[in-house]
Amino acid sequence: MLRAWTVSRKKNRTPLIEALRKYFSYGRRGKWTFQTNGMVLYYHAETEIKRHQLVRAEVSPYDGNWTYWSKRRGIYTGTPMRVSKLLKKQKGICPICKQHFTPDDLIEVDHIIPKSKGGKDRYDNLQALHRHCHDAKSKNDYLYDWLDNGYEWKDDVLTVPTTRD
């Protein structure tokens, strides 16, 4: 089908082989790979399958459960973009107390390594915490020597112990 399309696009004065070389060249699948300018046409079998999680039957975008929709989509009206992205990255769980966020919780954005200790203001150094968890962590920030690399990655979230071991 692509060969017929190429033939239909060729001008009468252009030889067929030159018209075919314009769109077909040696590539991943051999000599007759349909590609141009670094773009390759994938076969259907090469397309990655992306599974989607079903929406729970009892929830609606209008019911006010912003934590569910922020965790699910990474965006929700009325929720700051930074909080929504962090909720999605953390799968809706507070890294300190390991509890799920609920719509009634007060959520604060925390620097894992405090800016006063050399931490950057980037997403890999931010985490969403319950307000009371944030207070407990911030209280102990001065006790912790950040150069010890005591923090660790768990499920793509950087976590820090709340107290010194």
Residue 99 lies in a domain: yes
Which residues have CB under 8 Å from 164's CB, separation 6+? 140, 143, 144
With contact defined as beta carbons under 8 Å apart, do 126 and 112 qualify?
yes
Cα 162 from chain centre:
26
Same domain, 71 and 144: yes
Residue 55 lies in a domain: no
Token code pair at residue 52 = 């989607």
Same domain, 70 and 104: yes
- CATH number reported for the structural domain that contains residue 127 in this entry: 1.10.30
Q: Which residue has the higher pLDDT, 120 or 18?
A: 120
Parallel, antiparallel, or unpaired: how do β-strands 152-154 and 24-27 relate?
A: unpaired
Query: Quick one: pLDDT at residue 147?
Result: 45
Same domain, 27 and 85: no
pLDDT in tens, 16-32: 877 777 777 777 677 77
pLDDT band at residue 164 under the 50/70/90 scheme: low
Same domain, 95 and 22: no
Query: Quick one: pLDDT at residue 153?
Result: 62
Q: Would you give the DSSP letter of residue 78?
A: T
Q: Tell me the average pLDDT of the chain.
A: 79
Domain extent for 12: 1-50
Q: Would you give the DSSP letter of residue 93?
A: B
Residue 57 lies in a domain: no
Query: Quick one: pLDDT at residue 132?
Result: 92
CA of 57: how far to CAs of 53, 118, 164, in Å?
Answer: 12, 45, 44
Token code pair at residue 68 = 């569910």
Same domain, 46 and 70: no
pLDDT in tens, 122-160: 988 999 999 999 998 888 776 665 445 566 666 666 666
Same domain, 28 and 76: no
Query: Quick one: pLDDT at residue 102?
Result: 84
Report how many domains make up the chain: 2
With contact defined as beta carbons under 8 Å apart, do 67 and 76 qualify?
no
Q: Which residue has the higher pLDDT, 70 or 121?
A: 121
pLDDT in tens, 88-99: 888 888 999 999
Q: Would you give the DSSP letter of residue 100?
A: B
Query: Quick one: pLDDT at residue 131?
Result: 93
